[in-house]
Amino acid sequence: MEFRQTPKTGLMEIQMERFDETGSSRRADQLAIEEPLEIRLEWMTPEGLKNQKSISITLRTPGDDFALALGFLVTEGLVPASKPFSEHFASIGYCGPPLAPLGHSNIVKLVYKNPQVLELGSMERHFYVNSSCGVCGKASIDALRARPNFETASVAERSISRRMILELPQRLRAAQEVFESTGGLHASALFDSRGSLLDLKEDVGRHNALDKVVGAAYERGVLPLSDSILMLSGRISFELVQKASQAGIPVIAALGAPSSLALELAIDRKMTLIGFIREGRFNVYHDPGRLL
């Protein structure tokens, strides 16, 4: 198979064989790029020694890597997100030799200003949870629940139009540039209560797409996202509800349904949960009071 990568758009151009009832033909196609990303932290000890720690390795679509790293720290509760980015970090950048054809490495390093805010035990736990094949047992479930960065502030009661909710899937799809070419990416999009698109990120991992959105908002200094609606291109998992609540997002809408644990957490965090938006209808799984 011949291919060449175009990482700025997150696409790989390939030549493939298409088969149908008339035979086969060789055609060009595009795939979403999937590459590992390691997130490292660096800080100085009180004794003046330099420390580094790898806290996560995730498979992602290259692009918005710094936002992904920052979003991961925020949504996993590893950094006090109520304070500006510049108060915690001296710098953020790629670490190690550049890789062809990306033009940069697959390692992002964040240099902390104040090591006292680091909870190394929590970082060990989060690295395990996010890189393991599965987590079971009540103790592990309890470990998944990050302490909230913010109280979930409500979008004004009864301020969201039902018609606008029904239009969100079309607005999401219209903004998904890479999905339109590949059909292989998840998307997380932020809308305001009037349905205007604020931001959208795509990635092979649904949790990465949301981390990119949250990280970009954190870097801009606009957390909490208390006046925003999160639109997801797939189902609503526990992990996505937790990450959204860490950013102060009060409303989640999605094309798919929530899991039972996702609903349980949404109830606990007082979030509105909307799913199965299609063909003039949708389901509200918790708190319809924010809808007109």
Tell me the catalytic residues.
133
Asked whether 108 and 38 are in contact (CB, 8 A), the reply is yes
- How far apart, in whole angstroms, are the C-alpha atoms of residue 210 and residue 49? 34
* Burial grade of 147 (CB within 10 A; 0-12, 13-18, 19 or more): exposed
- The closest of 224, 222, 286, 273 to 249, measured between CA atoms, is 224
Which two tokens mark 110?
A: 């964040």
Instruction: Return the axis-axis angle of helices 206-220 and 238-246, rounded to nearest 10°.
Output: 0
Give the distance between the most distant pair of CA atoms in the chain.
Answer: 73
| Distance linking the first and last C-alpha atoms of the chain | 53
Q: What are phi and psi of 9, to 5 degrees?
A: -105, 0
